[in-house]
Structure 1
């Protein structure tokens, strides 16, 4: 038997806290396998992004197509495209995949800026998504990102409340534009590097395993909360989620 694979498009964080490094561990922790395609090389640490260098769109496609020629894709997870050209290339590839498998789960984490407010692409962050939300099965913005993105055409939306205040983090799931469910999680102290990547990647892993959206959302959030609760420090500032945990049954 082959292990379900998740095709991942994201940037490389040399600090190992976010992007591809986070995605690989979070997906593996669910029992799936990540196929990481680099969309950008970054200069960053656990607190700040100092520079972002998008990978050439042709090379992004070549990375993905070599994998598609050999591997069955159970889900797709998208982080930062790096620029508009990369987003357009990824969108074209998604259309090809959907022509083969119309139900292929596509999870989009629309990262408009780092936790410290630094830019994560070469173009306007909303424009750099270039039609990807319309191809996504689910988009997972935090509350500030949801305000910037406005109405989204995807079937599912999870708005996360980690940037808010109060004793609890409230995440809201919208299905077909209607509020379907709220989850409340105790707000943990401290700041974390790559929490959004962790949640989106875990969700993609769960969907690749064949779980339904409701169950996958619940399990991915429980896993992410546990990873944050057991986070560790590599330097002063934002902590790193401990991602290699056993998945929640």
Structure 2
């Protein structure tokens, strides 16, 4: 048996809190392996993004081509493409993979801006994402992103409620087949760098390991909440989720989706 691989397209965060670094940690924690393709280099810390430089599109495509030729990709996770051209190159890779496996799960974290509103690519972020939206199996937008993107027929959409108010964070699942479910998690104090990356990557890893969509969403949310609850500081400002292996953070229990209490 081989460890299931998740092909990842995301930006490089030199603070180590978000982007590719977060994806690798969260995927490994689920017992899967990340195949990371960097879409953009960034100048950022744990609070602000100062500059984003997309990688060369041809280089991105060559990296991905070698990986998909060599390894059996069981899921794909996409963060920022960096540019429209990179998104189109990623879409071409997905077309090749879907020709081999039409059911291949693709998880898209449609990051349109940082938590402070900093741009994460060249040009309009939604325009850059357009080639990928119709290819997503699971979309994980926050409330502002969901408002800009609108409904996406045929995709599972988990709208995260971290931008809302109140003592609880409510995440709403709108299923591709009409399914609907909400989870409520206790709102944790402070702000976190890379929480969305952690959640989306964990979902992709759970799908790669064979979970159904609802089970993957539930397990990934429980894992992400635990990672945030055990977060650590590397300096002033946003904290870093502690992306420990799932069997350490959630041994044999998960928080109750309504109360947050631990349950078998």
TM-score, normalized by length of structure 2?
A: 0.92
Instruction: Tell me the matched-pair count.
Output: 249
For structure 1, the residue ranges without an aligned partner over 5 or more in a row are: none
CA distance in 2, matches of 1:161, 1:130: 23
CA distance in 2, matches of 1:68, 1:155: 24
Q: Deviations over 1:46-92 (max 9, x none)?
A: 00000000001111111111111110001000000000000011011
The residue number in structure 2 matching 1:99 is: 99
User: Is 1:216 aligned to 2:195, yes or no?
Assistant: no
The residue number in structure 1 matching 2:64 is: 64
Q: Is the CA contact 1:193–1:240 (under 8 Å) kept in the aligned structure 2?
A: yes
Alignment partner of 1:126: what SS? helix
Instruction: Report deviation, 1:153.
Output: 3.3
1:91-130 alignment, distance < 5 Å: 91-130=91-130
Q: Is the CA contact 1:135–1:154 (under 8 Å) kept in the aligned structure 2?
A: no
Q: Deviations over 1:79-112 (max 9, x none)?
A: 0000000001101111111111000000000000
1:50-199 alignment, distance < 5 Å: 50-176=50-176, 178=178, 180-199=180-199
User: Is 1:43 aligned to 2:43, yes or no?
Assistant: yes
Instruction: Report deviation, 1:177.
Output: 6.8
Coordinate RMSD, CA, aligned: 1.1
4+ aligned runs moved over 4 Å, structure 1:
none
Q: Is the CA contact 2:28–2:245 (under 8 Å) kept in the aligned structure 1?
A: no
Q: Is the CA contact 2:10–2:20 (under 8 Å) kept in the aligned structure 1?
A: yes
For structure 2, the residue ranges without an aligned partner over 5 or more in a row are: 253-264
Instruction: Report deviation, 1:144.
Output: 0.4
User: Is 1:203 aligned to 2:203, yes or no?
Assistant: yes
Bigger drift between 59-68 and 220-229 goes to 59-68
Instruction: Report deviation, 1:246.
Output: 2.4
Q: Is the CA contact 2:81–2:129 (under 8 Å) kept in the aligned structure 1?
A: yes
